[in-house]
């Protein structure tokens, strides 16, 4: 029996003919972090005409956001990681004056604190993964207009400092970095620049040794995809873009950390990149939105849910409006909050200030 999601429209996208938006500022390429008290912190991003979105916003109730404290640097394509002590670590990103940052700051619940230590290299479109011991692994990234990175760092929260660690075998950005049940971090795919090629390779970081080791290859090369750990410990890889195939992907793969192998998964109904994937409390994975250039380039409103019990994707309704480069946050009550993003339709682009709540 297929289960469905109920979509509650808290506010709709700021486009002609649709109700006014709820966010204080429209934004995409931002971050959304669940705070210990159940609120959601939105930080940075880009707004209309790709202008930087200054400051932050905090939800006081699902979909009801108020301006938060100012951040020290306007950032986009950065990372935000909720730490074990309740603070949120903000790292790197695309910053004014249109360059790539090596700086970081902490949100302590009331304000942003600028950190004196920097990461080893400027980076955006990198990945940040909270390890079981409380440290944060920073992997890869892109130095705007120059090159992709193999350099990686570890953030030590007790000392509030970054230290270099082992390097990736393949420089990459737009990849995923996922914490496995055994404490390792699985890195998949990504894009290399200036070689301009997408990767199918995977690597695993071992916190005990600080080194990366080869972890097999995916069937499809992909970047701007998702990777989600299922309740049985396997990792579901969905969508993304393949330069080799010159289009977005509907294909999925499943990585088994016990065997170290990728196996083909069921295809999604639609090819998509820059979508979101959220593990629901019942074990399903909710896929929302995304971008597709299959046919005329367009943003998707469709949602799908992968059910490990049936090993299939099923339609899960539609968002109030199409969106990609948005964020999806699992709330304490099991619902999913969708914030911001971008829409492309009919050759036009718009940044949105949408919020919606999806209830399983």
Helix (H) or strand (E) holding 148: strand 147-148
Reported as a single tens digit per residue, the pLDDT across 80-111 is 999 999 999 999 999 988 899 999 999 999 99
pLDDT of the residue at 63? 67
pLDDT of the residue at 18? 26
* Residue 4 predicted with pLDDT over 70: no
| 293/247 Cα distance (integer angstroms) | 7
pLDDT of the residue at 17? 25
Q: To the nearest whole percent, how much of the chain has pLDDT over 70?
A: 94
User: What are the φ and ψ backbone dihedral angles of 317, each rounded to 5 degrees?
Assistant: 85, -170
| 278/330 Cα distance (integer angstroms) | 7
Reported as a single tens digit per residue, the pLDDT across 117-137 is 999 999 999 999 999 999 999
Q: How confident is the model at residue 19 (pLDDT cuts 50, 70, 90)?
A: very low
Collapsing DSSP to helix, strand or coil, 275 comes out as coil
Structure tokens at 77: 């394509």
Q: How confident is the model at residue 10 (pLDDT cuts 50, 70, 90)?
A: very low
- Give the mean model confidence (pLDDT) for residues 201-226: 98
Average pLDDT of the chain is: 92
For 65-79, give the secondary structure using H, E and C. Answer: EEECCCCCCCEECCE
| 50/270 Cα distance (integer angstroms) | 27
- Give the mean model confidence (pLDDT) for residues 158-175: 97
Tell me which residue of 100, 48, 39, 47 sits closest to 73, measured CA to CA.
100
pTM: 0.93
pLDDT of the residue at 64? 83
For 331-343, give the secondary structure using H, E and C. Answer: CCCCCEEEECCEE
Structure tokens at 312: 């299939």
Reported as a single tens digit per residue, the pLDDT across 267-302 is 999 999 999 999 999 999 999 999 999 888 999 999
pLDDT of the residue at 13? 31
C-alpha pair distances (Å), 258 with each of 79, 185, 235, 285:
29, 14, 11, 21
């Amino acid at each position: 029996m297929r289960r469905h999601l109920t979509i509650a429209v808290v506010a709709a996208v700021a486009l002609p003919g649709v109700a006014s938006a709820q966010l204080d500022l429209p934004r995409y390429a931002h971050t959304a972090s669940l705070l210990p008290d159940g609120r959601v912190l939105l930080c940075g991003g880009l707004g209309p005409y790709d202008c930087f979105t200054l400051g932050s916003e905090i939800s006081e109730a699902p979909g009801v956001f108020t301006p938060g404290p100012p951040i020290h640097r306007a950032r986009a394509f950065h990372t935000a990681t909720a730490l074990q002590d309740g603070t949120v670590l903000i790292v790197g990103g695309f910053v004014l004056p249109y360059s790539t940052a090596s700086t970081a700051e902490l949100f302590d619940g009331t304000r942003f604190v600028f950190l004196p230590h920097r990461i080893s290299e400027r980076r955006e479109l990198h990945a940040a993964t909270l390890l079981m011991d409380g440290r944060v692994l920073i992997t890869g990234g892109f130095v705007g207009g120059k090159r992709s990175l193999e350099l990686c760092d570890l953030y030590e929260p007790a000392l509030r400092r970054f230290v270099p660690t082992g390097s990736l075998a393949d420089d990459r950005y737009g990849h995923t970095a996922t914490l496995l049940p055994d404490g390792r971090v699985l890195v998949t795919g990504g894009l290399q620049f200036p070689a301009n090629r997408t990767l199918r390779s995977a690597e695993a970081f071992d916190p005990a040794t600080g080194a990366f080791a080869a972890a097999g290859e995916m069937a499809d090369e992909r970047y701007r995809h998702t990777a989600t750990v299922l309740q049985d410990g396997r990792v579901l890889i969905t969508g993304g873009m393949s330069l080799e195939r010159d289009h977005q992907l509907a294909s999925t793969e499943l990585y088994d950390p016990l065997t170290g192998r990728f196996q083909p998964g069921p295809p999604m109904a639609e090819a998509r990149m820059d979508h979101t994937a959220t593990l629901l409390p019942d074990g399903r994975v909710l896929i929302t939105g995304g971008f597709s250039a299959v046919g005329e380039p367009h943003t998707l409103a469709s949602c799908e849910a992968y059910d490990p019990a049936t090993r299939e994707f099923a339609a899960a309704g539609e968002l109030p409006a199409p969106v990609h480069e948005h964020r999806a946050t699992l709330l304490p009550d099991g619902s999913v909050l969708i914030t911001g993003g971008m829409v492309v339709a009919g050759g036009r682009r718009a940044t949105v200030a949408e919020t919606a709540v999806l209830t399983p």
